[in-house]
Chains A and B, each alone.
Chain A
Amino acid sequence: MDIIIIGSGPAGVSAALYAKRAGADVTVITRGSGALAKAEKIENYYGLAEPVTGAELEANGIAGAKRLGVSFIEDEVVGLAMNEDFTGLVVQTPGRACEAKAVVLTAGSTRLAPKIPGLKELEGKGVSYCAICDAFFYRQKTVAVLGEGDYALHEAEILLPHAGKVMLFTNGKEPAVKIPDTIEVHKEKIIAVEAENANGMERVSGLRTEDGAVTPVQGLFVALGTAGSVDLARKIGAATDNNRIVVDGEMATNVPGLYAAGDCTGGLLQVVKAAYEGAVAGLAAAKYVRSRK
């Protein structure tokens, strides 16, 4: 595949339109409606004689892109990595891995991590946001994944061959997917990440839950809900800053072939800004793909 676009909001669809018209083969992977569909009335976008609903604008955008020959796949993206020889990018969904020459991240902004005492403080000291990067450090150890859906299950499955024991903590939620018997499920809410002292430095020692119990764990992998643009950017090594992806004037990240557009790059959370950035990213991605042929 030439270009995979993750997300089907105004940034993703604009990127798809411009890349397709520039001659690239374009596939959009989307898990359905995003922030735009929740907007009741939009009247500040160019060319609207009467206000429209966000859902209508979004549906029209997707219909227009399909008319031009853009393919849409409804699926959840759970991972993003470089391929074996670092010449392309691999987009991972629960069922399969798709390789592309370029990827445009337009999956919106990520909600912030829950305010569990210790979670932020212990980042890199047992709290991780990337199973594939850090599984190595937890060989034969007991680890927990914080989350409840396909994304959490994907992270847990990466950890299973390395860790001694993998648990899933849903933090008060019901699991949204079937969890295999090899993963122990805990539904209690976590009230604190506990730490111990090792070599004069703090590191994760357990999870304190609302029932007062402390479950000993050496690692906690955060994978709540679905993987957002910033989560995916971090896994591949794209620069991020305060929950936004850092891009240049062509919407390129520091990872060759990886672009980002829309809410995930920060600034105005507006359709007009997302559409502009999508157009720039789509053109730049198409140009990048041509240069690689």
Chain B
Amino acid sequence: MAVTVVNKENFKNEVLKADKPVLVDFWATWCGPCRMMAPVVETIAEEHPELKVCKVDIDENPELAQLFNVMSIPTLAAFKDGQLTGTAIGYQPKENVLKLFA
């Protein structure tokens, strides 16, 4: 599956009301480690159909970053049943990201 781009308008429907666990990548264009994270996030989206994978550009959606206390990027956040269940900060290899859903 492809990575879903989410913003403040569709966050509730795409992430909080999703019917499966969701990985959200909070990122920005000017952040080097975020650029390195992008292909890992895309691979997870392709290899793990049991997860929904989304990304939020924090430049365009500072409200979402603030709501979830995102203060470092990249932040990889796991959501289950509308609840934030875990985060990982900085570049993370695939295995570390998947641990958020273990």
Which A positions have Cβ atoms within 8 angstroms of B?
Answer: 81-82, 86, 123-126, 128-130, 132-134, 136-137, 198-199, 201, 203, 219, 234-240, 246, 254-255
Contacts and interface: CB of A to CB of B under 8 A. Distances in A.
Given A124-B87, A237-B91, A239-B91, A134 B35 contact: no
B32 A198 contact: no
Q: Is the interface of B mostly helix, strand, loop or mixed?
A: loop
Nearest to B58: A136
Best-surrounded residue of B33, B58, B59 (most CB of chain A within 10 A): B33
A130 B33 contact: yes
Interface of B: 28, 31-37, 58-59, 65, 67-73, 75, 87, 89-93
Contacts of B93: 239, 246, 254
Can you list the 7 inter-chain pairs with the closest CB atoms, starting with the nearest?
A237-B33, A237-B36, A124-B89, A237-B91, A124-B72, A201-B69, A137-B71
A81 B59 CA distance: 20
Nearest to B89: A124
17 contacts: A81-B32, A124-B75, A124-B89, A130-B90, A133-B34, A136-B28, A136-B59, A137-B72, A199-B67, A199-B68, A203-B71, A237-B33, A237-B91, A239-B93, A240-B91, A254-B93, A255-B36
Given A234-B91, A237-B32, A134 B72 contact: yes
Contacts of A136: 28, 58-59, 73
A128 B72 contact: yes
B91 A254 contact: yes
Given A238-B91, A239-B93, A198 B35 contact: no
